[in-house]
Amino acid sequence: MTMSEEHTVETKSSSSWQLPAIIVLGLVALGGLGFGWSASSKLDSTQQAVATQLKATQQSVQQDMSSLKDRLAQDEKANADLQGDLKVVTGKLKITQGQLKKAREEATKLNDATSQKLTALDTSVHSELATKATSDDVKTVDTKVVGVKTDLDATREDLKMARSEMGTLIARNHDEIDQLRRLGERDYVEFTVTGKNKPQKVGNVTVELKGVNEKRNQFSLAMTVEDKRFEKKNRALNEPIFFYTSGTHIPEEIVINKTAKDTISGYVSIPKANSQVAASTTKSGK
More confident site: 86 or 187:
187
pLDDT digits (tens, 9 = 90+) for 117-128: 667 766 765 666
More confident site: 157 or 28:
28
Whether the per-residue pLDDT at 223 is higher than 70: the answer is yes
Delimit the domains of the chain by residue range: 185-285
CA diameter of the chain: 198
Whether the per-residue pLDDT at 46 is higher than 60: the answer is yes
Whether the per-residue pLDDT at 9 is higher than 50: the answer is no
Which range, of 230-239, 251-260, 265-274, averages the lowest pLDDT? Answer: 265-274
Cα distances (Å, whole numbers) of residue 36 to 28, 31, 32, 33, 44: 12, 8, 6, 5, 12
Cα distances (Å, whole numbers) of residue 127 to 122, 133, 139, 145: 9, 10, 13, 15
CA distance linking residue 125 with residue 130, whole number of Å: 9
Whether the per-residue pLDDT at 172 is higher than 60: the answer is yes
Q: Euclidean distance between the first and final Cα of the chain, in Å? A: 198
More confident site: 88 or 270:
270
CA distance linking residue 185 with residue 168, whole number of Å: 10
The DSSP letter of residue 133 is: S
pLDDT digits (tens, 9 = 90+) for 97-109: 766 677 677 667 6
Rg over alpha carbons for the chain, rounded to the nearest Å, is: 55
pLDDT digits (tens, 9 = 90+) for 80-89: 777 777 776 6
Class assignment of domain 185-285? mainly beta
Q: Which helix (H) or strand (E) holds 279?
A: helix 272-285
CA distance linking residue 48 with residue 42, whole number of Å: 10
CB proximity list for 167: less than 8 A, separation 6 or greater: 114, 117, 118
The predicted pLDDT at position 259 comes to 94
**Within the chain, how many helices (H) and strands (E) appear?**
4, 10
